[in-house]
């Protein structure tokens, strides 16, 4: 059973995490939710479309203008508090690698710290333990935050993913993070080229077999774009195809931009797999 905030999720229950970027330069929406009003409207829409988790980020993943910890706190903390006030049942995640930011957002009501840079700040897990919140343990191939991979080589990319993510998860639990609130993430695109990300997807079942809930962050990423030779705004179909495969292989949490489309994909895969029934069943019964 995965427990995050006030919510509990059965092992076969797909969970959608909606991305809300509090940045002026995000790669996908170019700052569409940087201001409070559109960001809150995005949260309301995402929840209505079936998102159980809202993932709030104050720094874009890629290279760009420097964002200090103080500025990241300014972009996220007040917003976390307002989302907590308006949506008491939603799980609030914050995408950060810094323990100072983790501390501040947990004080404001965050339920989950999404460490996309693979424990580069080991004190972030200590914050999660102290506040008894969840933690996402990600494989980033040892990359420093906001850097792009360059000629990365692995003897076995999945072996490295398992070593790093399971190690981070076990450390988090040893520190006091609730075991049922720890997830592992293969880190598509982070410290990887496109072939690595494709292999990580193909072998996702090996992560699922560890017993830790698996989160995948696939939405409109470069490995989808390079595989299909499509720009950012034309990667939705490739993303949804990868989502369906990931769902079939056992991933549980999906970090996405397109909530409604992802909801239909995971519900359809769950129905094919026999983990849920059809919403209606009239055909051939009249």
Please list the active-site residues.
Answer: 221, 255
Asked whether the beta carbons of 132 and 179 are under 8 A apart, the reply is no
Report residue 3 as tokens: 């427990």
Phi, psi angle pair for 138, to nearest 5°: -115, 150
CA distance 183 to 173: 11
Q: For residue 67, what is the DSSP state?
A: -
Which string of b and e fits 96-114 if b means at least 16 CB within 10 Å? bbbbbbbbbbbebbbbbbb
CA distance 154 to 192: 9
Sheet holding 15-21, edge to edge: 182-185, 134-138, 112-115, 91-95, 53-57, 15-21, 253-256, 215-217
Which string of b and e fits 241-251 if b means at least 16 CB within 10 Å? ebbbbbbebbb
CA distance 131 to 109: 10
CA distance 54 to 42: 10
Q: For residue 141, what is the DSSP state?
A: T
CA distance 73 to 101: 6
């Amino acid at each position: 059973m995965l427990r995050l905030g006030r919510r509990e999720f059965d092992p076969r229950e797909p969970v959608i995490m909606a991305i809300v970027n509090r940045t002026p330069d995000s790669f996908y929406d170019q700052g569409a939710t940087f201001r409070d009003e559109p960001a809150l409207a995005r949260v309301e829409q995402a929840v209505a479309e079936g998102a159980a988790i809202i993932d709030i980020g104050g720094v874009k993943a890629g290279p760009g203008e420097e964002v200090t910890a103080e500025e990241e706190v300014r972009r996220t903390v007040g917003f976390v508090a307002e989302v907590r006030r308006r949506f008491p049942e939603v799980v609030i995640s914050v995408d950060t690698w810094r323990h100072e930011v983790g501390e501040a957002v947990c004080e404001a009501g965050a339920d989950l710290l999404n460490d996309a840079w693979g424990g580069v700040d080991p004190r972030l897990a200590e914050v999660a333990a102290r506040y008894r919140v969840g933690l996402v343990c990600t494989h980033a191939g040892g990359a420093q935050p906001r850097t792009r991979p360059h000629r990365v080589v692995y003897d076995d990319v999945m072996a490295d993913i398992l070593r790093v993510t399971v190690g981070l998860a076990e450390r988090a639990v040893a520190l006091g993070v609730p075991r049922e609130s720890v997830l592992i993430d293969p880190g598509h695109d982070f410290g990887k080229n496109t072939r690595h990300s494709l292999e990580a997807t193909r072998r996702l079942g090996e992560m699922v077999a560890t017993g830790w809930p698996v989160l995948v962050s696939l939405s409109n990423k470069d490995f989808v774009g390079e595989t299909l030779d499509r720009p950012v705004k034309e990667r939705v179909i490739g993303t949804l195809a990868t989502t369906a495969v990931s769902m079939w292989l056992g991933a549980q949490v999906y970090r996405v931009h397109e909530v409604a489309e992802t909801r239909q994909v995971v519900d359809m895969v769950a129905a094919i797999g026999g983990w849920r029934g059809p919403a209606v069943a009239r055909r051939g019964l009249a």
